[in-house]
Structure 1
Amino acid sequence: MNDSSWGAPSHPGQWGPSQQGAVPAGPAHGAAHAAQTRPMPTVPETGGDQDDRHRGAARPSGPPAGGSRSAEPPRRPEESAVPQKKRAGRDLRAAIGVGVGLGAVIIASLFFVKDVFVGVITAAVVVGLWELTTRLEERKGIRIPLVPLAVGGAAMIVAGYVRGTEGAWFAMAVTALALLVWRMAEPPENYLRDVTAGIFAAFYVPFLATFVALMLAADDGAERVLTFLLLTVVSDTGAYAVGWRFGTHKLAPRISPGKTREGLYGGVAFAMIAGALCMEFLVEGGSWWQGLILGFAVAISATLGDLGESMIKRDLGIKDMGKLLPGHGGIMDRLDSLLPTAPVVWLLLVLFVGN
């Protein structure tokens, strides 16, 4: 069904008895008119207002038995379909305040001491792993060893920053092996399920975040990371604003009912404009047309990342991964679009301007 028809007001005369049993005035039709306007006997309601509305059935409008209070006149279809004011789905004041605070910490650490920013990435990864493993155990009974996962995740970030892609892959392999061995201390039941989920978590959170450290290791690493963050935030904000104001066609109603196609188009447009500006004035050796490609790729990957985490949350039956950030949810609810976007931005920047 076309989503633009959801909640659309009925056309006048489409429902209700007012135009189904109209009788011309005059004495010749008096008896027929009286027979048709005679009150119908009360019958048990089986479907509520929705069933009555679709069947076009009229309810008795007389006063209740034993009382003199007049009954409320039935609403017309056009009166019941009063458009409701759109409301934002989160606390915008808290979300903006937390976003500004996080942005200040990121910018300060990014441009003054790169090593501190590596610590910020590592802390976000460890907290995100804790949220993910906790929700998996609560909702699905999946027990992932957090200690080797957190230590291995931190090692991936540091190894990627110091040793590049080879270091990141080596740390990922060691982390997977540590999960396999650590889980052997528990009973063998669900061993395969737990270690499989652990390897997925290691790849999903710390390994993808390693590409941020790889960007940071470049000579103009601060500018590259800032471009990555700006484009992702601009894409998310543009999609949210345009979708909230103009969105009517659902993008993926089974996964994330709040997302619309119009929001996706808005996110793509905002990200492409921001990408052209960043590549032209922020990244050394970049061009505006490269920024258009980069912005388009960021908008698509950020949307897919958001939908991917929504799939996980729907499978777990939860709304947010955590409550650490007021107005945002948990750390994982902020990393959802950043994680899959990091390797995309890293790869395109390497192709466009090199290492």
Structure 2
Amino acid sequence: MSAAETFRSRHRHIPVRILSADPALPYAKPPLSKGYLCGRQPNLDLHSAGWFDRNDIELIRGVTIERIDVGAQEVVTAGGVHHPYWHLLLATGSATVPLKVPGGDLAQPLRTFADAVALKMAARHAETAVVVGGGLIGCEAAACLAGLGVGTTIVAPEAVPLERRFGVDVGERVVKMLSDAGVRFIGSSTVAAVEHTGVVLTTGETVDGDVVVGATGVRPDIRLAAAAGLVTEGGHVVVDEHMRTSARNVYAAGDITLARNVTAGRRVVSEHWRDAAQQGLVAGLTAAGYPASWDMISGFSCEIGKFTLEYRGWSSPDASCRLVDRRDGFSATYHSDGRAVGTLEATASPAS
């Protein structure tokens, strides 16, 4: 959407087409595990259907793309329909990592609007829930479910939530945030099976859950890019600071990219909404013939109960953490090789 809007703002009459596998109108994804699941944000659409008509952007929804022919410069969809292109942007995002245990298909994912609707409806009739995974989405979803009056438990293999991303010190404080929100956290535990009544841990312990949510992470969907012969590395599509891939007039943005960031001075992976939107803007400008580079500092926000966590930077798992507690939360600064590489601010809402 960001790329299409940006290109259209520079070229009013060149045809712009969006092909999407999702049957819904383009929507904001961060609120799915925040406001929408909590019942505070019913409308997630980025634009109305009329907006696409007024801006002459053709939106084709619910379509499966079979392949990209970079030589012929065309995209082929299911049924053999050929869509020629002058410039092409790949923004295929990520797919959820399935919970590969017996009964794992009973766990509900939370990635798409359809997922969020299904989970929200299931929560209406649930007394208990289990969230498998202690990452950002898992923590947000668990806090929302607890806020709806559902007795919620997180089960995660790490000792504390968000440990791999932010470290143990921050994770210990997140446990307290979750507890304040009514969420029980079971760390250093692995799910052996999912049943209709909850989950069974490898220790044999059972955790009740009328609803089980699989928040076991995502994997960039680079299948089309790889099949088209684009250069990839570590499961991501390699792009420069202008979002150009190795193929002529083909760009990539969002979760799938290993993109050079001018400010970081290196290629970085960033699987967050703000960065994806900014990369789309850069790709749109580049395709339109305007100078643009990805130079914004990466960042995202997370809501856990009454707390909002704001992160900026590119810290690595081996970065050291300096944490300072405050009355309304805490601050953490991450350092690597003697320089600051990330900051995290956790702040309780004023109403709390």
Report the TM-score when normalising by structure 1: 0.22
Report the TM-score when normalising by structure 2: 0.22
Normalized per residue, the structure richer in strand is 2
